[in-house]
Each structure stands twice: as structure tokens, then as C-alpha cells.
Amino acid sequence: MDTSSEIFIFIGLICILMAAAVQKMMPSPPPTCVGIDLGTTFSCVAVFEDGEVTVISNRMQRSITPSVLFAPDAGTDAIVGEGARAAAASAAGTLVYDAKRFIGKRYEHDKTMRESRGLPFSVVPGPSTLRQQLEPHLELRVGGQPLRFAPEDIGTLVVHELKRAAEAYVGRNVDSAVLAVPVGFNAMQINATKQAAIAAGFTVLRTIHEPTAAAMAYGLHTRAQVHSVMVYDIGGGTLDVSLLNLNNGIFEVMAAAGDNRLGGQDFNLVLLEHLIESIGAKVHGGVQAIRDDHEAMRVLREEAERVKIELNDEADCSGRFEEGDRGEVEVSLPPALSSAAPVVIDRAVFEQISGELLKRALKPVSTVLQRVGMRAGEVDELVLVGGSSRMARIRQLLREYFDGREPNCDVSPEEAVAHGTAIQAAILTDRKKIAVGATEAALHAGADER
């Protein structure tokens, strides 16, 4: 080997050693921390990577995952999330949903019975060793044997699905999360929600209020002229309206009100009842024959939800539709009810039968403003959160209440809370440097005391 070759090899070795030394000296990248919205009806996970937020799709390539579990009567493994609804449509068993309504609550018999009316499983008292109180537990029968879940057990299974999706997306373990919780949750409920995420394998770096997360998703923490934000959040099962004050990046919940028995499912139900009555007048056996036919009822429930979505899906942020939109949807009937075809629902009928629900949908807005002594015109921003905020008439009512101002619809309402928690996660792990340290003092002061 000649001298020049030896020098070349020596220089190469020096470069390799220097590169290794530099790499060793460089700090390792901060751990990936995701944002999680564990919702009553649907849940969502998002991550801040490469300068932007990505809402992560589940195994079925959908951005939101149903917060449900299906336990087959055959005693086979339970199914969680996206596949649970499909399984419930084709196999005997129990679909467990609305678990978040009961999470971390103290068991009070009369109140619990009212809240559990109509659910396909029993809600019974069960001990919580962590919180040292009796809490509502969900009891169903599988293969003739009782099977009981604490509400956070369902939450854990749903969060585990989100964790799996996040890890598949980023290609490595994801062990840290920021978790959103409703404004109305007390310390016990927040604790139970955190325990659900911890049991799924997460370290929870912080919990933040859902409206705060939504406001961050809309980037309101970066707008100097924004001081008051109303977050109107209506999902599948609950309505929450919150008024936030923003001062130097610190969010504070000034007032909140809501309706924990009002959401998209309630609009589905009034439409289902309308379909049963309308079709019952045209078929042999009438309404009772329809109610006794489990398959027909399953199909009509699914159709009620589909019709509601299609009647509202093309509305803009103000609740307006393009000229020429007929606002009519034909209902697909099961074979047993085919003699009643055609059945068509139009938007005017839907809004008429939903009249009482729509009145309730606006009431918390006035309640919140009255509590702080503000007028609608003094609110700087109105943002929409939750899939049911897509309903055209709700958007129209809000626009009218706020004297013609359009709500802010820049972020998908189903994804806004997860989007905002991902931004908070990025701030905590130094993946996103923001001029103001966006957070919320009130919740975390409370969290430190727990």
C-alpha cells in the first residue's frame, strides 16, 4: 500500500471518529408526545412532527375512532373501536358505549339510573380503590355470565387503539401524551381519565381543558387582538359551551355551561322515531311490528344517522347551502319494510322534528354570557367543535345570535381538540417554539393540588 493510500485511509478514519463524537455530543431528539381527545362518542389522536400537526388515522384509515366496545355473546374476544360497530351489526352481543358519561363519578343510584336509561347494559355500583368511592360500573352478560367494566377500562382499550395507530404512523414507541378533559370534570373524573391513558401505556405530561385545546388548534393563542373566545362543542352525546379569556398566552375558563344529554345521538333518535311512525303507517303490523323486528330497527338506526349527515354535510360555515341543493335524502329500507318505499326526508322536516333539541342547543350560549355579564358582540371569536356542530340549523342559529357573525370553521370540528393537544404536547417537548407559553393556569393549579 503506497503512502497516499495510507493517508487517505487515515483521514477517513479521523472523519468517522469525529462524526461519531459529534453525534454523541448532540442531544437526542425530544421524545414524541401525542395529543389525545378521549371523547364520549369518538376519540382522536394527533402529533406535531416536521413543523405541522397530523391527525393520525386508525387501521381503517379514519381520523376518528368510535369510543365503543363490542362483546360477542359467543364469548370470543371483545372488539374495540372501528370494528366494534360493524361486528355489532352482524353478530349477537352487546355494544358498550357512552362510558365517558360515568367515568370517575360517585355512584348515586337515582341519578345513575336516569343517566343509564336506554343503554343495552346495566350500570351497577363498583368500588374504586384509587379514588376510594363507589362508582358506576358497566355490567353485561357474555355467554350467560356477567362481565363488568369500570368506565376507565373502556377508555384504556380505546386509548390503546390510538397508541397503536400513533406508533404505526411515527415508526417508534410513543409513550407520552397530553390529554384533553371536559371543563365540567372534577378532580376524580380527571384522575380516572388519566388512569385510562396510563393503563394504556402512556405517561400523561399534562391534562388541558377541551375548549382550551380547541382554541389552540385554531391558533388563537398567537393572535394579539383575540382576548375572549367562545367554544361551542357539541359531539355525539354532550354539549359544552365555554368562554375563555386569553391574556399573554394564558387561557382561563371564565364560564361554562352545557347539556350532558344533548348531542348527535339525540337528533338521530328523533329522526328514527319519525321514520318508525311514517313507515308504520304503510306496512302490515304497523309501528309495533317494526319495533319488534331487531334487524329492521338496526337498519333504521343506521339510516337515521346517515340521513342526518347527508342533510347537513354540504353546509358552509354559516349553515348555508349552494343554490339548487334540494335538501332531500331517500331512506334505504330493509327488505321487510320495502312495501313502504319510497321514503324521503327533507331538511325542513328534519329541522321541524328537531325543534325542541335546537332550542336546547342554544340555551347554554346565553347562560354563559349572562354569567360573565357580556354581550354576544363582545366575544372576539366563536369556534365550532364536535361533529354535530356541522348541523346547518345549529350554525344558522349561532350566526343569528351573534348578529350575523360567522363562526370560525378553519379546523375540522371532529379533530380540533386532538389538534390542540398535539400543539400543547409539542410545546412541552420543545418541538414547537411559540412566543407565548400557551397553557391554562386554572386547570394546572388544580391538578397540582390533587
* DSSP calls for 335-363: GGGGGG---EEEHHHHHHHTHHHHHHHHH
Whole-number pLDDT of residue 77: 86
Alpha-carbon distance 147 to 142, whole Å? 7
Q: Is 378 a catalytic residue?
A: no
Alpha-carbon distance 64 to 275, whole Å? 28
Q: Are 243 and 258 in contact (CB under 8 A)?
A: no
Q: Within 10 Å of residue 203's Cβ, how many Cβ atoms?
A: 11
Q: Is the predicted pLDDT of residue 394 greater than 80, yes or no?
A: yes
Alpha-carbon distance 214 to 411, whole Å? 9
Q: How confident is the model at residue 13 (pLDDT cuts 50, 70, 90)?
A: low
Q: Are 234 and 363 in contact (CB under 8 A)?
A: no
Map out the domains of the chain as residue ranges.
33-96+156-218+412-449, 264-353
Q: Within 10 Å of residue 404's Cβ, how many Cβ atoms?
A: 8
**Secondary structure of residue 71 in the 3-state scheme:** strand
Strand pairing report for 439-440 and 250-259: parallel
- Identify the active-site residue in 98, 152, 233, 440: 233
Give the mean pLDDT of the chain. Answer: 88
Alpha-carbon distance 182 to 235, whole Å? 12
- Identify the active-site residue in 115, 161, 210, 414: 210
First to last CA, the chain: 72
Q: Which three cell numbers stand for residue 376?
A: 354576544
Lowest mean pLDDT segment, chosen from 113-117, 177-181, 442-446: 442-446
Q: Is 100 a catalytic residue?
A: yes
pLDDT, tens digit, 9 for 90 and up, residues 27-84 = 445 568 999 999 999 999 999 988 899 999 999 999 999 999 999 988 778 999 989 9
CA distances for 242 relative to 187, 217, 259, angstroms = 19, 15, 12
Quick one: CA torsion of 429, 432, 435, 441, rounded to 10 degrees?
A: -40
CATH class of 33-96+156-218+412-449: alpha beta
Whole-number pLDDT of residue 444: 39
Q: Which three cell numbers stand for residue 19?
A: 462524526
Whole-number pLDDT of residue 90: 82
431-440 mean pLDDT:
48
Q: Is 105 a catalytic residue?
A: no
Alpha-carbon distance 426 to 127, whole Å? 37
Q: Is the predicted pLDDT of residue 19 greater than 60, yes or no?
A: no
Alpha-carbon distance 446 to 441, whole Å? 9
Q: How confident is the model at residue 11 (pLDDT cuts 50, 70, 90)?
A: low
Region class of 324: left (phi > 0), else alpha (psi between -120 and 50), else beta:
left
DSSP calls for 184-251: T--HHHHHHHHHHHHHTT-EEEEEEEHHHHHHHHTTGGG-TT--EEEEEEE-SS-EEEEEEEEETTEE
Whole-number pLDDT of residue 442: 44
Q: Are 381 and 405 in contact (CB under 8 A)?
A: no
Q: Are 416 and 383 in contact (CB under 8 A)?
A: yes
Question: Among residues 145, 101, 104, 110, which one has the least CA distance to residue 126?
Answer: 104
The greatest distance separating any two alpha carbons of the chain, rounded to the nearest whole angstrom, comes to 101
Interacting residues of 105 by C-beta distance below 8 A, sequence separation 6+: 112, 135, 136, 188, 189
* Span 264-353 CATH architecture: Alpha-Beta Complex (3.90)
Q: Is the predicted pLDDT of residue 149 greater than 90, yes or no?
A: yes
Question: Among residues 250, 145, 158, which one has the least CA distance to residue 202?
Answer: 158
Q: Is the previous residue joined to 342 through a cis bond, with omega within 30 degrees of 0?
A: yes
Alpha-carbon distance 234 to 258, whole Å? 9
Q: Which three cell numbers stand for residue 309?
A: 349527515
- What pTM value is reported for the model? 0.86
Q: Is 210 a catalytic residue?
A: yes
Q: Which 8-state DSSP code applies to residue 62?
A: -
Same fold, 33-96+156-218+412-449 and 264-353: no
